[in-house]
Amino acid sequence: MLTLDDHKALLVKFQSLLALLLMVVIFSVSAKGFFSTDNFWLVLTQISVNLCLSVGMTLVILTGGIDLSVGSVLALSGAVMAGLLKNGLELPAFNLFVGFTVLGAVLTGLLVGSFLGLFNGLMITVLRIPPFVATLAMMTIARGLTQLWTGGAAITGLGEIFGYVGTDRLAGVPVRVWTCAAVVGFAILALKRTRFGRYIYAVGGNERAAKLSGLNVNRIKLRVYTIAGALSAVGGLIVTSKLDSATPVAGDGYELDSIAAVVIGGTSLSGGKGSVLGTVVGTLIIGVLNSGLIILRVPPFWQKVIKGGVILLAVAIDKLNTKEQ
Amino acid sequence: MLTLDDHKALLVKFQSLLALLLMVVIFSVSAKGFFSTDNFWLVLTQISVNLCLSVGMTLVILTGGIDLSVGSVLALSGAVMAGLLKNGLELPAFNLFVGFTVLGAVLTGLLVGSFLGLFNGLMITVLRIPPFVATLAMMTIARGLTQLWTGGAAITGLGEIFGYVGTDRLAGVPVRVWTCAAVVGFAILALKRTRFGRYIYAVGGNERAAKLSGLNVNRIKLRVYTIAGALSAVGGLIVTSKLDSATPVAGDGYELDSIAAVVIGGTSLSGGKGSVLGTVVGTLIIGVLNSGLIILRVPPFWQKVIKGGVILLAVAIDKLNTKEQ
Amino acid sequence: KQKKQESAGGQEARSKGNIAVIVSTLNNPWFVVLADTAKTRAGELGYEATIFDSQNDTAKESDHFENVIVGGYAAILFNPTDADGSIANVKKAKEAGIPTFCIDREVNANDVAAAQILSDNYAGCVELGQYFVKKMSQKGKYVELLGILGDNNTWNRSKGFHSVVDNYPGLKMVAQQGAEFDRTKAMDVLESILQANPDIDAVFCGNDAMAMGAYQALAAAGKADKVMVFGFDGAKDVIDSIRDGKIVATGMQFPKRMARMAAEQADEYIKGKRDFPQKIPVAVELVTRENIAKYTAYGRQSNE
Amino acid sequence: MALSKTDNIVLQARSISKAFGGIKALDGVSLEIHAGKVNAIVGENGAGKSTLMKILSGVHREYEGQIVLDGQPVAFANPRQAQDNGIAIIHQELNLIPSLSVAENVFLGREFVSRIGLIDYRAMHRETTKILKRLDLHINPRIAVSGLRVGQQQVVEIAHALSLRARIVIMDEPTSAISKHEIEVLFGLIRSLTAQGVAVVYITHKLDELFQIADTVTVLRDGKLVGSSPIEDVTHDDIVRKMVGRDMQNFFVKAYVAESQEVLGVRDVCLAHPRRRDDYVVDHVSFDVKAGEVLGLFGLMGAGRTELLETIFGLHPKRSSGDILLDGRKVEVGSPTDAIGFGIGFVTEDRKLEGLILEMSVAASISLASLERTERFGLLSGAIENRLARDYVERLRIKTPSVKQRVENLSGGNQQKVVIAKWLATNPRVLLLDEPTRGIDINAKNEIYRLISELAKAGLAILMVSSELPEIMAIADRIVVLSEGKQTAEFASSKATEELIMKAAIPKSFGPSKV
Ligand SMILES: Nc1ncnc2c1ncn2[C@@H]1O[C@H](COP(=O)(O)OP(=O)(O)OP(=O)(O)O)[C@@H](O)[C@H]1O
Ligand SMILES: Nc1ncnc2c1ncn2[C@@H]1O[C@H](COP(=O)(O)OP(=O)(O)OP(=O)(O)O)[C@@H](O)[C@H]1O
Ligand SMILES: [Mg+2]
Ligand SMILES: [Mg+2]
């Protein structure tokens, strides 16, 4: 039997889904070329990066935190992968040179991302720095490090194999989409069916009660931020691989897109309430909107205005229909 | 007699102040030319815009909300002022042309800013759209409108009188600084000594209790967002006036700077706790940091890394010394 | 590049003064090259140069000018964020007696800058446009990717291009979208455009980063060999791509040449020279598969 | 039952002291907890009961003194360690995660997991249902606690503690939020626990409960231990004397107030259920409250009393129907603002969620609803505000170091007094009280009763919800009984008996707590 909240939750999901379907229908009739298998896959591949970041962001926000560093972490870990793969690692100190295989480079990149996330977590739990500040600082630091590592230039020409994740298909489905699907699947399972997942809701719902029930709140937060960092690195892998190059500006401003996706998906910024499925819908709404407006050939100047308006509408539909606290 | 909490409050303020003083001292000894009257005024004038935005942001955050649109609203109201002043307003529909005096243009710009703020407020209170989404949408919309209004090109040559606010001095003090001083002064008075101010804390502290105590929560929020919009417009006035031109990209990314200033100043993003004085300190910390690093000739890429690190330190000092929940 | 900076720093001992390099953005490799070259050249001439990043924000740029004026710099090597918006800043410097040398981008005012060493974006794109028409043999569908919509160079380039291309009714622009001079955005945008217009023949991009993104999108759609991509800047990737026959043409601007000239003129100014020509146009050269041999990243083979 | 036997002492507190920023909450308190016994602890609001329990259960880490468990000195770094040592606590404030389900809350931190590490919900729901059945709470373990009412949530808290199968169960005012029926059930449970040798520490302000279940009574006053003795050796008055530190006249009895004209009139007031179609939470309720009269509103948990008060106060304009009359004239109460404008005040049931802004000082909290009173030349005057606050701090004997203290740091009871002060400061003509003495010590209770009757004498019309029969029968001039939202009876309190009232209160469709 469903409760008030299940109903609401369902309703919310359903509502943003409604907004999404509405958009799809409108674009399908108005924008020729929008409703096609090609474009279907295209939208999916184009949201894949934002989706990876947003899943991590969802976990973070569910604990009542926020992560502004996802974009820069994406850039740095992408650059690390590209750099190691292209130039290897020189350690003049020991006049040593380390070459990297694709796998080695990718894994190192993922490690870097996770480490940066862990660092966020430590700042937030040990030094008790508000998540907003801690991750904002990381955002600047990681961006600076990226520019230093790349010397401000793009690292290009990373080769076929590395391009696999970003460009290839597996069983007819783009590898990027497989990757996101896996990420989303794991996240949903973890949130719904593991202790860790429930503790995330507990920490976000009532941190004090969580502590009093003996949960190790700090450890939970550490894990969540580390995961967010790792997923940003996955995003970095996808971007770098699909562009066959790592640019120092990669991921600039992605933090807002991803937070937007999460919130449009019905997750509350105060923590404790929300779902990864909602986030998927949120990401789709943004992706469909971007694609549709371009295919409709909306003049560049108008795109922003319309995009903003549509997002307001999409969320308003939710709220109006789930009215009553 | 002071209580535990006054002490704490004091301590917090004192702490970020401490961080600030520490930085000033370090830069004064390390960066020749930092500790000079010239540079003193320079820092003050350079933070003036961020300070205007941040005061509005403080009010918004105290109610438990957030305003991501400050940067774009700054741009649009600035562009409106410049446009009306330079080209007046043509209404082909009524084949009518309206010319504008400096004052007229400025007031209209301020009105536009306030109106956009009010619009934010309505989205948030009436349609119950989460502040983050509502203001994010406004951020995009206002930016688009700015580009439409300016046609993507800067509007320049606005003349002496208009330049007054941004460039001139009054009694030896830059007019920009006077403006901020006034804004800060009013804000502090309002927060500490008026019902409206007290209600802002109440709404942020416990919205339901505030409602049950007969406060008109919606009206309070509406006012706060309108004020934030108006203050963004003031920021727009300062920028446009000092550059003698309104550029369509003005204020891009300012929302993060201003939120950072507020949070570094010790105001909690969950609302109900914080102060404008703290925000002033927060803004100063950022301003001094920027100035110091430049005078120290730190290369741009390193600046980001160091800036992030210092902000972490500054806030960490706070937290460590005010430890004990 | 760290090394370069050290070498510049190494000259401090006999430093003849400070020179500021204020650059519109370091988000784009092209400008990084510009700034680094200016800094290095100034260093070689015995000055201590510092780079300021305006991050495409005229207000930040104005802060930099104020700092530079207070900091007692001898000259400013300046890459403006906005031709109009930056005027006030240059004026301020002039009033403070500090000469400003504009690089690559101009400010729309006479006699405020000591000299303007300009890469003529408009003319460059006119030439590119003519080559475009030739390559398209005067007919076909094409897409234009604009840069940052608030950036006047975005429009200089677009206008220059259209001043030629629009005279040929056979050439139809089926889509015009902004991609913020960004590689990733360009790829995503073009991918979407291709959905509605699978049959385009060419893409004109406002800079090389976008050209690379556009090429990536076409490659992903398996159209790389059917659609011609045109860029602008002369960035490393694009020069290589032209050599590999991936991209058709770009307009070579000479960041290094311009940066060096600016540094040298600043040196002369400090040594007392005053009569600089207001505007020193540095022609943008069309780089194509035919003449690619002559070029390398950001310049000519010869003078590299 | 001889208590001298030391072998059944499981837990000892040795001269425990604890201060909060200068305020000594505990001052050298020693205490012995006996296995298989109900060890009751009583004391006025702010005496230090909860603080002591928080120390015993590992919530507070910093304190002086020593805790001895089974003869071994222990120091718990966190609540989890206390749990692992078999100490469970039901905190005074609810500590539930609103968005999680009942089962998840009951087993928070100790979920059942299958071999592959996934949560085994089937087992958890089964167990939860079992435990809740023992507590006679028949709700679906899958629903989120945010959908429950205070009373039901309190029961879930108890279930949580029981599920720990602890050797020592601390209950900090477990009965403050539940009504007679649940209390009976709880007591039965406590007896079975002690029978199994579990040590129960029981904190309450309802002294008559002591004589039903307590084996020993320990009295705290101002953070000091006053005395500890077997229940047989003490009388109600002894305990009160020890708590208050002076003699106190017996349970307050309100003077009969002469009737006059109606101030508040309620006509056919209905409130539709948030979700269920044509089901009413409040179902055609009508009554009058005269000036100088106290109308008692009784009902079991979930009877709809809170909703009724909320409706009168204008909180559900959309879902409600019927008329509200003031002085016989119909008024439109569309919002709390309106209600306050009409001179209605509402002391809510849940002080933390609805009554207080915890970060605010005592002064700010008291003046919140009547801030205009503290204005001078359009600006707030700290002087006036503090004077106003101090006045009420004295009248209600609120225990706080200063009016600048954060309400967050006041003891539960004192927080409640602050809420009442907030409304008195608005000089209301009609006062709605929802469980006004919940969690308040006997001394303060009497003050509040006296206050209520003073206000009544002064001509206020008072509508008071209470789950405590003796209280309602003592204060009210008339009593209205609600059951499942319907008005089932109305008595003059002189005519009312506990039997009659309970009979009217028990729902016809049985199942005292349903959702
Ligand atoms: N976190 C805290 N910070 C500051 N003071 C506190 C804190 N917690 C409790 N106190 C103070 O310690 C004293 C004891 O509080 P405690 O909650 O133990 O009283 P209590 O006996 O439980 O009262 P009640 O019966 O009302 O619950 C009170 O004066 C209270 O103000
Ligand atoms: N949060 C809620 N969600 C759904 N229904 C609710 C909720 N709270 C109360 N109800 C409904 O309203 C009815 C009355 O609840 P209410 O809390 O007013 O009872 P009460 O008489 O005040 O008991 P209590 O003493 O616990 O406050 C309940 O039977 C329940 O059906
Ligand atoms: Mg207590
Ligand atoms: Mg109730």
Count of CB atoms situated within 10 Å of the CB of B229: 32
Contact with chain A for residue C1, Cβ under 8 A: yes
* Most informative mutation of D24, D50, D173, D207 for ligand 1 (most atoms within 8 A of CB): D50
- The single residue listed with the structure tokens 């996934």 is D118
In this complex, the residue of A42, A247, A300 whose CB is nearest that of residue C177 is: A300
What percent of chain B clears pLDDT 90, i.e. is strictly above it? Answer: 61
pLDDT tens, position by position, C141-185: 999 999 988 788 899 999 999 999 999 999 999 999 999 899 999
Nearest CA in chain A to B310: A137
Look at residues D173, D139, D179 and name the one whose alpha carbon lies nearest to residue D158.
Answer: D173
Is the Cβ pair A33, C184 closer than 8 Å?
A: no
Nearest CA in chain D to B191: D380
Residue B90: both structure tokens together: 């043509």
Look at residues D345, D309, D288, D294 and name the one whose alpha carbon lies nearest to residue D472.
Answer: D294
* Residues of D with Cβ-Cβ distance to B210 under 8 angstroms: 357, 368
| pLDDT level of residue A87 (50, 70, 90 thresholds) | confident
Q: How far apart are CA D446 and CA D454, in angstroms?
A: 12
Q: How far apart are CA B150 and CA B143, in angstroms?
A: 11
Backbone phi and psi for residue D453, each to the nearest 5 degrees, phi listed first? -70, -35
Count of CB atoms situated within 10 Å of the CB of D60: 18
pLDDT for residue D256: 59
pLDDT for residue D493: 81
Helices (H), strands (E): how many in chain B?
Answer: 13, 6
Residue C264 has pLDDT above 50, yes or no: yes
B290 Cα: distance to centroid of ligand 3 (angstroms): 50
Q: Do chains C and B touch (3 or more CB pairs under 8 A)?
A: yes
Contact with chain A for residue C154, Cβ under 8 A: no
Bridge partners (DSSP) of residue A292 are none
C202-205, strands of its sheet edge to edge: C171-178, C140-146, C202-205, C228-230, C249-252, C285-288
Nearest CA in chain A to C177: A300
Q: Is A256 helix (H, G, I), strand (E, B) or coil?
A: helix
Nearest CA in chain C to A151: C1
* Residues of C with Cβ-Cβ distance to A154 under 8 angstroms: 29, 183, 209, 212, 237
Average pLDDT over residues D28-55: 92
pLDDT tens, position by position, C3-52: 444 444 444 445 788 999 999 999 888 899 999 999 999 999 999 999 99
Is the Cβ pair B140, A311 closer than 8 Å?
A: yes
pLDDT for residue D248: 57
Is the Cβ pair A46, C192 closer than 8 Å?
A: yes
Indicate the average pLDDT of chain D: 87
Q: Exposed/middle/buried for D397, CB within 10 Å: 0-12, 13-18, 19+?
A: middle
Indicate the average pLDDT of chain A: 89
Count of CB atoms situated within 10 Å of the CB of D178: 25
β-strands C279-282, C115-119 pairing: parallel
Residue spans of alpha helices (H) in chain C: 2-10, 29-44, 58-70, 87-95, 121-135, 152-165, 183-196, 208-220, 236-243, 255-270
Q: Exposed/middle/buried for B159, CB within 10 Å: 0-12, 13-18, 19+?
A: exposed
Contact with chain B for residue A260, Cβ under 8 A: yes
- Taken in order C243, C244, C250, C256, is the CA torsion positive or negative? negative
Indicate the average pLDDT of chain C: 89
* Residues of A with Cβ-Cβ distance to C231 under 8 angstroms: none
Distance from CA of C92 to the nearest CA of B (A): 10
Distance from CA of D94 to the nearest CA of B (A): 17
Residue D378 has pLDDT above 50, yes or no: yes
Look at residues D342, D317, D315, D331 and name the one whose alpha carbon lies nearest to residue D266.
Answer: D331
pLDDT tens, position by position, D269-317: 999 987 777 788 899 999 999 988 999 999 887 788 999 999 999 999 9
Give per-10-residue mean pLDDT for chain B (325 aa).
50 71 91 87 93 97 95 97 88 79 93 97 93 94 94 87 85 92 96 94 94 94 98 96 91 92 90 93 93 88 91 79 48
In this complex, the residue of B145, B308, B323 whose CB is nearest that of residue A137 is: B308
β-strands D461-465, D430-434 pairing: parallel
Is the Cβ pair B213, D359 closer than 8 Å?
A: no
What percent of chain D clears pLDDT 90, i.e. is strictly above it? Answer: 47
In this complex, the residue of D78, D104, D144 whose CB is nearest that of residue A3 is: D144
Chains near C (3 or more Cβ pairs under 8 Å): A, B
Q: Ligand 2, atom 22: nearest CA belongs to which residue?
A: D306
Q: How far apart are CA B225 and CA D65, in angstroms?
A: 52
pTM of full prediction above 0.80: yes
Q: Is A252 helix (H, G, I), strand (E, B) or coil?
A: coil
pLDDT tens, position by position, D56-94: 999 999 999 999 999 899 999 888 899 999 999 999 888
Which residues are found with C-beta within 5 Å of the ion, ligand 3?
D 50, 92, 412
Residue D131 in contact with residue D162, Cβ under 8 Å? yes
Pocket lining: D405 vs ligand 1, CB cutoff 6 Å: no
pLDDT tens, position by position, A108-150: 999 999 999 999 999 999 998 999 999 999 999 999 999 999 9
pLDDT tens, position by position, C133-148: 999 999 999 999 999 8
- The single residue listed with the structure tokens 């894994």 is A107
pLDDT for residue B33: 82
Is the Cβ pair D97, A6 closer than 8 Å?
A: no
Nearest CA in chain C to B295: C71
Residue spans of alpha helices (H) in A131-206: 131-150, 160-167, 175-193, 195-205
Is the Cβ pair B295, C154 closer than 8 Å?
A: no
Which DSSP helix (H) or strand (E) runs through B197?
Answer: helix B195-205
* Residues of B with Cβ-Cβ distance to D353 under 8 angstroms: 206, 208-209
Contact with chain A for residue B301, Cβ under 8 A: yes
Average pLDDT over residues D152-173: 90
Q: How far apart are CA A149 and CA D19, in angstroms?
A: 53
Pocket lining: D19 vs ligand 1, CB cutoff 6 Å: no
Query: Could you tell me the CA-to-CA distances from D500 to A152, D182, D473, D506 in Å, in that order?
Result: 85, 19, 12, 10
Contact with chain A for residue C244, Cβ under 8 A: no
Q: How far apart are CA A130 and CA A145, in angstroms?
A: 22
Q: Which ligand gives the minimal distance to the CA of D29? A: 1
Pocket lining: D25 vs ligand 1, CB cutoff 6 Å: yes
Q: Which ligand gives the minimal distance to the CA of D405? A: 1
Q: Ligand 2, atom 15: nearest CA belongs to which residue?
A: D302
| pLDDT level of residue A17 (50, 70, 90 thresholds) | confident
Residue D372 has pLDDT above 70, yes or no: yes
* Most informative mutation of D51, D57, D398, D418 for ligand 1 (most atoms within 8 A of CB): D51
Contact with chain A for residue C175, Cβ under 8 A: yes
Q: How far apart are CA D336 and CA D231, in angstroms?
A: 47
Average pLDDT over residues A68-73: 96
Residue D31: both structure tokens together: 């205490």
Pocket lining: D486 vs ligand 2, CB cutoff 6 Å: no
The residue type of A320 is L
pLDDT for residue D437: 85
Q: How far apart are CA B24 and CA B43, in angstroms?
A: 11
Q: Ligand 2, atom 19: nearest CA belongs to which residue?
A: D302
Q: Is A188 helix (H, G, I), strand (E, B) or coil?
A: helix
Query: Could you tell me the CA-to-CA distances from B30 to A286, B33, B43, C13, C208 in Å, in that order?
Result: 48, 9, 17, 19, 41
Is the Cβ pair B46, C66 closer than 8 Å?
A: yes
| pLDDT level of residue D510 (50, 70, 90 thresholds) | very low
Distance from CA of D382 to the nearest CA of B (A): 8
Closest approach atom of ligand 2 to CA D151? 26
Under the phi-then-psi rule, with left for phi > 0, alpha for psi from -120 to 50, and beta for the rest, what region is D278?
A: left
- The single residue listed with the structure tokens 């991936």 is C246
Contact with chain D for residue B2, Cβ under 8 A: yes
pLDDT for residue D310: 94
* Residues of B with Cβ-Cβ distance to C88 under 8 angstroms: 156, 242-245
Pocket lining: D145 vs ligand 2, CB cutoff 6 Å: no
Closest approach atom of ligand 2 to CA D300? 21
Nearest CA in chain A to D164: A213
Angle at C19 between CA C17 and CA C22, to 5 degrees: 165
Residue spans of alpha helices (H) in B88-130: 102-125
Q: Which range in B111-125, D41-55, D263-277, D486-500 is most confidently predicted, on average pLDDT? A: B111-125
Q: How far apart are CA C66 and CA C22, in angstroms?
A: 12
Q: How far apart are CA C34 and CA C18, in angstroms?
A: 18
Distance from CA of B132 to the nearest CA of D (A): 22
D296 Cα: distance to centroid of ligand 2 (angstroms): 18
Collect all residues with Cβ–Cβ distance below 8 Å to C291 and sequence separation of at least 6: none
Nearest CA in chain B to C64: B294
pLDDT for residue D251: 54
- The single residue listed with the structure tokens 């020749």 is B32
Collect all residues with Cβ–Cβ distance below 8 Å to A210 and sequence separation of at least 6: A199, A202, A203, A217, D97, D108
Q: Is A208 helix (H, G, I), strand (E, B) or coil?
A: helix
